[in-house]
């Protein structure tokens, strides 16, 4: 399907080391969710990440877990999450102040998520970063085969 097509187009990402792919995914999702719904973003991007992982020979969970967690790390914009809107609504912070502070929180989140997924996630979930499991290959292939 479309996710596989997009995954094949993004195959160039496969030349990056695993940690760099995870950082790239975390950055992309964290900053995308500053302007879009967390749920809608993950719903849209997870099938694409699964296809990218299969095409690049990476375990899909190594991209999908950090993407899911990163969707909750939107700290810069008032529209990103209801708590951000509440803080902004207090009129004690300007958008500029939220962006200045939030960008550091976002970047710290990217580093922490990447480190935890690589250090703990691979052990907890029994992930071999260089192996694509059978279930992932069949899902990425779609219903036709």
Question: What is the pLDDT tens value at each position of the chain, 145 positions in all?
Answer: 665 666 666 666 767 888 999 999 999 999 999 998 899 999 999 988 888 888 888 899 999 999 999 999 989 999 888 888 998 999 898 999 999 999 999 999 999 999 999 999 889 988 888 888 888 877 655 555 4
What pLDDT sits at residue 67?
96
This prediction's pTM = 0.84
HEC letters along the chain: CHHHHHHHHCHHHHHCCHHHHHHHHHHHHHHHCCCCCHHHHHHHHHHHHHHHHHHHCCCCHHHHHHHHHHCCCCCCCCCCCHHHHHHHHCCCCCHHHHHHHHHHHHHHHHHHHHHHHHHHHHHHCCCCCCCCCHHHHHHHHCCCC
What pLDDT sits at residue 126?
87
């Amino acid at each position: 399907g479309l996710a596989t097509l997009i995954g094949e187009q993004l195959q160039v990402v496969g030349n990056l080391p695993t940690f760099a792919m995870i950082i790239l995914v975390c950055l992309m999702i964290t900053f995308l969710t500053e302007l879009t719904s967390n749920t809608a973003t993950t719903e849209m991007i997870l099938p694409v990440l699964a296809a990218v992982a299969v095409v690049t020979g990476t375990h899909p969970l190594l991209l999908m877990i950090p993407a899911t967690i990163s969707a909750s790390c939107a700290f810069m914009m008032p529209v990103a999450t209801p708590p951000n809107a509440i803080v902004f609504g207090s009129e004690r912070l300007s958008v500029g102040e939220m962006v200045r502070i939030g960008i550091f929180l976002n970047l710290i989140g990217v580093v922490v998520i990447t480190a935890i997924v690589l250090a703990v996630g691979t052990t907890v979930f029994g992930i071999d970063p260089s192996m694509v499991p059978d279930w992932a290959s069949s899902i990425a292939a779609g219903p036709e085969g």
